[in-house]
Homo-oligomer: A and B are copies of this chain.
Amino acid sequence: MKVSKETFSYEVTEDSQLLDSGIRLSPITIAYETLGELNEARDNAILICHAFSGDSHVAGFYEDDPQESNPGWWNFMVGPGKGINTDKYFIVCCNILGSCMGSTGPSSINPKTGKPYGLDFPMVTIGDMVVSQKQVLDHLGITRLHSVIGGSVGGMQVLEWCVRYPEMVKSAIPIATTMRHSALAIAFNEVARQAIMVDPNWNKGDYYQNPGPDLGLAVARMIGHVTYLSDEAMRRKFGRKRQDNKDFSFNFEANFQVESYLRYQGSKFAARFDANSVLYISKAADYFDLADKINTRESLQDLQGSHSKFLVISYTSDWLYPTYQAKELVQALKRTGQDVSFCEIEADCGHDAFLIKDSRLTNLLEGFLDGIEPS
């Protein structure tokens, strides 16, 4: 299945939507990819929202990748005859605002200066991300979504979609996510941010002409990576296995496989992702809060009167957004009269479980999507 990366750019004028911070960011470019065909009734579109460091390349292969070496991040789930079936559905996936994978973010050129924004980039929220995705759907002529689906930070976008544009959302599948970050989740994000900001190469976000804060970014990713796994998964995968089965070296080399693995994950991430984007996206996730009505901001209470079908999914070993938080979400949705199904999947691989092929998740999604009536 061949796909191509498209971009949609738009100007934000004085009277059009400002960011939640009250600042006007313009122009905004959103990179997106589509799979399948939009039907004539325009009622078979599904929006897939990616997680923290993901991108718009959700499935398939690019035209210029004849060896098919670069599949999308959810390739096992999305495609012809798969759980999210591109023979039936038209799939849209946008790179989030604030990221660095084609959409406008801190590494983009600030038209006022001709240089990358750096810390002059305004803070964006999950709501701002969703508003920019709405622009893409308007551009594509889509007014109603068969479903919005996403895991982790993608799941936050799913929930935000439901409260910002309830009339557009027929169904929603938030996976391994939360209505709001716990103190623990904020704490891990803050430590990751500090790891980046103490790297002198970070230079207050102004590093695009120089070597960037790769070392700090690698440490930040190592922290993130630990939170995506679970105690059980790490015991199974690494335990106390030593590198090359060698005895202890009695120095600070990586003696254990888990050390070597984390160092590799850290440096691999630093090679592909922008450190400032980590700062902005992590802050957006920390700010996200649909549990309480704060000032004029949206909350799940705004769903009162609207009717979407929800499938909430959590994983037993996810300690970043544990099942108790998914249950709180289910209760909050039910209080507003929504039709909510909930499934906790037994899995020992932690928060990232939804990115690992598993027929239980595939079957759940396929069955739920088939049960949504066309409008």
Contact = CB atoms under 8 A, between A and B. Distances in A.
A301 to B, nearest CB: 17
Contact of A226 (B23, B191, B216): B191
A119 B239 CA distance: 28
Interface stretch (A36-44, A149-157, A230-238, A367-375): A230-238
A183 B218 contact: no
A291 B188 CA distance: 31
Interface residues of A, number: 59
Interface of A: 21, 23, 119, 122-123, 180-184, 186-188, 190-191, 193-195, 197-200, 215-216, 218-219, 222-223, 226, 229, 231, 234-235, 237-240, 247-248, 250-252, 254-256, 258-259, 262-263, 266, 279, 283, 286-287, 289, 294-295, 319, 322
A191 B254 CA distance: 11
A219 B222 contact: no
Nearest to A226: B187
A222 B194 contact: yes
A308 B319 CA distance: 37
A289 B183 contact: no
Contacts of A119: 252
Leading 6 A-B pairs by shortest Cβ distance: A183-B234, A198-B215, A123-B250, A183-B238, A21-B250, A190-B259
14 contacts: A21-B250, A23-B250, A182-B234, A182-B235, A183-B234, A183-B239, A184-B231, A186-B256, A187-B222, A187-B229, A188-B226, A194-B219, A198-B216, A247-B294
Given A123-B250, A287-B248, A195 B183 contact: no
Given A182-B239, A183-B234, A231-B319, 19 more contacts: A123-B250, A180-B240, A183-B231, A183-B237, A183-B239, A183-B240, A183-B256, A184-B234, A187-B226, A187-B262, A188-B226, A190-B256, A190-B258, A190-B263, A198-B199, A223-B223, A231-B322, A252-B279, A319-B319
B226 A184 contact: yes
Contact of A198 (B23, B219, B231): B219
**Chain A: interface secondary structure?**
helix
A187 to B, nearest CB: 5
A194 to B, nearest CB: 5
B252 A183 contact: no
Nearest to A198: B215
Contact of A262 (B181, B191, B266, B294): B191
Contacts of A289: 240
A219 B248 contact: no
Nearest to A261: B187
A194 B266 contact: yes
Interface centre among A123, A180, A198, A286 (most CB of B within 10 A): A198
A106 to B, nearest CB: 11
A258 B198 contact: no
A192 B3 CA distance: 41
A200 B202 CA distance: 13
A144 to B, nearest CB: 32
Given A194-B263, A219-B219, A240-B181, A234 B123 contact: no
Contacts of A21: 250
